[in-house]
Amino acid sequence: MQAGSVSDVVGHTPLIKLQSLSKITGCEIFAKAEYLNPGGSVKDRTALGIIQSAEKQGLLKPGDTIVEGTAGNTGIGLATLAAQRGYHCVIVMPDNQSKEKYHALEALGVELVKVAPCPFANPNHFYHTARALAESRPNSFWANQFENTANFEIHYKTTGPEIWEQMGQRVDAFVSSVGTGGTLAGVSAYLKEQDPKVFTLLADPMGSGLYSFVKSGKFEAQGSSITEGIGIMRLTENFKKARVDEAVQIHDEQMLSMLYYLAQHEGLLVGTSAALNIFASYQYALQNQGKGLRIATVMGDSALRYQSKVFNPQFLNEKNLKIMPLIHS
């Protein structure tokens, strides 16, 4: 394949069968390698969808500035595409994210603004800070990935159809965590249009309120997580479009056990959200052991984006986290 620009190679990522986990569970578990997008994550799709939508509406023109609040991956996706399309980027992030993300953004030439982590209701939250910056600067466009449904639409138009075709139009379940809701919403909507029996499972880290919302209609959270970019405490416009059948909570110890297992048994260095997604898929497969279900999930990014944390014994000790062997491994 010859590409005219970096935008042309967003999407069409491989779907990898997780051989050892499939053998253990008697189900077929597949994971979409979104870390192979040019900016290194599933958020490249979101960035492309938002930019294309804004260009179509006349909201972006060469020389303009894209402003976004992000845990990092959407910012990297936006900056990757902006560099080629003639836009500047201002990225607002919490100051507790992995240093690998900051380094990547700095290399891409963005203006990086770090803010202290705080509840969404606080006006200093990275989301509100990004909006205020966009409103205060001329020729600026606020990407607004949480509420901009171009996010949902790009996954409905690309990610969902790719999974459906790559799995030979036979999908029994789709598992995904939620950051903005775009991936789960777009994929679940598409897959259920093809087959209403597709079971959709939301995998939520501790500290997020989505598990509680699915179960009771209320946003309540317990505990905390070292995962980045997933788990929220509000209903976004993108997540409103998700078609969710069930939700599970995954602890950091479970996520880390899967992250290390995948490295050592599948040759896959996956990020924290990917390990969480795959643990939830594995757990669901075990509950249906031997039934031959075909389960799909998403590997949002690579462990190399978090290696200063997840491969750092000092960091893990500080968080009182131990790497436990995966059950049945």
Distance CA 35, CA 219 (A): 30
Distance CA 306, CA 312 (A): 9
44 φ/ψ sector (left φ>0, alpha ψ -120 to 50, else beta): alpha
In Å, how far are 25, 94, 262, 303, 325 from 329, measured between CA atoms?
11, 36, 11, 20, 7
Residue recorded with tokens 């394949």: 1
How many angstroms separate the CA atoms of 217 and 24, rounded?
35
56 and 183 in contact (C-beta within 8 Å)? no
| Exposed / middle / buried, residue 63 (Cβ in 10 Å: 0-12, 13-18, 19+) | exposed
Alpha-carbon distance 123 to 15, whole Å? 40
**Backbone dihedral angles phi then psi of residue 58, each to the nearest 5 degrees:** 75, 20
Helix orientation angle between 73-85 and 43-56, rounded to the nearest 10 degrees: 50
Choose the catalytic residue: 43, 101, 241, 309.
43
Q: Check if the beta carbon of residue 105 is closer than 8 Å to that of residue 72.
A: yes
Specify whether 114 is catalytic.
Answer: no
- Active-site residue set: 43
